[in-house]
Structure 1
Amino acid sequence: MVLAGGAARRMGGVDKPVRPVGGRPMRDRVLAAVADAHPRVLVGPAGPVPAGVLVTREQPPGGGPVAATAAGLALLDPDTPVVALLAGDLPLLTGEAIGHLLRHLNAGPDGRHPTPLDQRPAAEPPGADTGGRPGAEPDGACFVDADGRRQTLCGVWRVPPLRAAVDRLAAGRGLAGAPIRALLAGLTVREVPWSGAGPPPWFDCDTDSDVRRAEEWVR
């Protein structure tokens, strides 16, 4: 699920996810990183998208990431177990990075991966669980940067607890304008450092200089 309905104020209000990096729209790069997912859902303005991608819009339009998450979840089958929740401006995201998150999500409560996923490089640091119930199976896994900041829109989440969190907010403060941290409050989140080669997969493009930097990385 790719969230692509932001206002892009620091870029003058352009449709940021369609800006090209390396000759390809950023949102298409994000969708390519989850090419094996079904379905793939884009939440944002209508427009040309790769074949097989479902498009919907948050209500109200521009209502923020929580409203967008709710709109995307509404298109998933009731028995969908896991969803990747991704910003539309992550041009450096790869399938390898998504697989890394899924391995951590499927690890046991102690952070150890079941065989054969436990056969990972010894230098890979374990993820840390925060929030929710100590020792419980994680509800989601997202990257953290070198300063320990969660990259919540570069993560994978179990659908039932994510739906429950949406319902909780909808019954309380409402979804429009709610911050993503309010959605995830109370969920057990596995924070995953990135130890792979190359640039950080959570690098997002908020400014023109960010786009130029991403262009340098993809050359």
Structure 2
Amino acid sequence: MEAFEVKGAAIVLAGGRGSRMGGVDKPTLEVEERSMRASVLSAARSALGEGAPLVLVGERGADVQGIGAVCVREEPPFSGPVAGLARGLAELERLGSTDEVVLVLGGDMPWLEPRVLGALVHACAEAPRKVAGAVDAGGRRQFLCAAWPRAVLARALSHLAGEGGGGSLVGASAKSLYRALGELTPEPVQAEWLDVGTLAGASGLAPALVARSLSDIDSPEQLEQARSRR
């Protein structure tokens, strides 16, 4: 597998209730004979290399065995993406990880390309005080497809958990974590949003492949369409 030069870690969020999918754990659903969360973890593994720490915030399962990810759950369970990120970051610290860049990924992107993740990691490493996030082909910011400076992620989580964020991470949205960037002191932090064209140029992939890579599955209809693709 091809690894990129920048040292990094990844947190993959896959601990939701599956309310949009009729109560089924969405990231465990298969697209092209593989669970979506396994596809995301494998993309992160290829992008970061064999020794990189990967944390899956979700249930253990046979579908993710052999990828080398550590599985944990947020407390309390089903308390949202920000609580999941806090749990994932705590696990990276427990593992002794000192990686300067952390990929923050949702577990519902079955076509995620390692080179797209590598481009995000490089963009973050080149501007260490900025978050590098992806924008999909429809112009939608993918809050859970981004590379974060580790220290910035820790500060944003701390801000939300403290007085600035109301004192609790339970139920906080991923968007609120980005909003917190502008509230950090003594100096706010910016997010740099990279569109399909920019990521295509940085990764060397065709724009159509990058656009597909940034597609996520949010509904039973989208899942059916994804499974019908050839």
TM-score (norm: length of structure 2): 0.77
Query: 3-state DSSP class of the match of 2:212?
Result: coil
Task: Deviation per CA, 1:188-219: give whole Å up to 9, x if none.
Answer: 111000133224322111112211232345x3
Task: Identify the residue that residue 155 of structure 2 maps to in structure 1.
Answer: 164
How far 1:9 sits from its partner (Å)?
1.2
Task: Identify the residue that residue 99 of structure 2 maps to in structure 1.
Answer: 80
Is structure 2 residue 146 aligned with structure 1 residue 144?
Answer: no
How far 1:27 sits from its partner (Å)?
0.4
Is structure 2 residue 82 aligned with structure 1 residue 63?
Answer: no
Superposition pairs for residues 3-42 of structure 1, below 5 Å? Answer: 3-36=13-46, 37=48, 38-42=52-56
State which of 171, 191, 197 in structure 2 corresponds to 1:177. 171
Q: Output the CA distance in 2 between the equivalents of 1:164 and 1:78.
A: 17
Which has a greater percent of helix?
2
Structure 1 pair 80–106 and aligned structure 2 pair: CA distance change class (3 A)? closer
Q: Output the CA distance in 1 between the equivalents of 2:90 and 2:26.
A: 24
Task: Deviation per CA, 1:127-186: give whole Å up to 9, x if none.
Answer: xxxxxxxxxx54211111345431110111111010011111111321000111221222
Structure 1 pair 156–170 and aligned structure 2 pair: CA distance change class (3 A)? same
Structure 1 pair 106–81 and aligned structure 2 pair: CA distance change class (3 A)? closer
Is structure 2 residue 110 aligned with structure 1 residue 91?
Answer: yes
Task: Identify the residue that residue 59 of structure 2 maps to in structure 1.
Answer: 45
State which of 192, 195, 204 in structure 1 corresponds to 2:194. 192
The answer on whether the counterparts of 2:83 and 2:171 sit within 8 Å (CA) in structure 1 is: yes
| Structure 1 unaligned spans of 5+ | 109-136
Deviates more, 1:158-167 or 1:181-190: 181-190
Q: Output the CA distance in 1 between the equivalents of 2:214 and 2:137.
A: 12
Q: CA RMSD in A?
A: 1.7
Identity %: 39
Task: Deviation per CA, 1:98-151: give whole Å up to 9, x if none.
Answer: 01212322345xxxxxxxxxxxxxxxxxxxxxxxxxxxx542111113454311
Query: 3-state DSSP class of the match of 1:209?
Result: helix
Aligned residue type for 1:43? V
Aligned residue type for 1:143? A
Structure 1 pair 189–22 and aligned structure 2 pair: CA distance change class (3 A)? same
Query: 3-state DSSP class of the match of 2:123?
Result: helix
How far 1:12 sits from its partner (Å)?
0.6
Task: Deviation per CA, 1:25-53: give whole Å up to 9, x if none.
Answer: 10000011011431111001232322321
The answer on whether the counterparts of 1:194 and 1:200 sit within 8 Å (CA) in structure 2 is: no
Aligned residue type for 2:160? L
Q: Output the CA distance in 2 between the equivalents of 1:106 and 1:80.
A: 11
| Structure 2 unaligned spans of 5+ | 1-10, 182-188, 201-205
Q: Output the CA distance in 1 between the equivalents of 2:175 and 2:81.
A: 10
Q: Output the CA distance in 2 between the equivalents of 1:154 and 1:138.
A: 17
Q: Output the CA distance in 2 between the equivalents of 1:68 and 1:11.
A: 20
Q: Output the CA distance in 2 between the equivalents of 1:188 and 1:181.
A: 13
Query: 3-state DSSP class of the match of 1:60?
Result: coil
Greater relative contact order (Cα 8 A, min sep 6): structure 1 or 2?
1
Q: Output the CA distance in 2 between the equivalents of 1:14 and 1:32.
A: 22
Aligned residue type for 1:66? V
The answer on whether the counterparts of 1:104 and 1:192 sit within 8 Å (CA) in structure 2 is: no
Q: Output the CA distance in 2 between the equivalents of 1:161 and 1:78.
A: 15
TM-score (norm: length of structure 1): 0.80
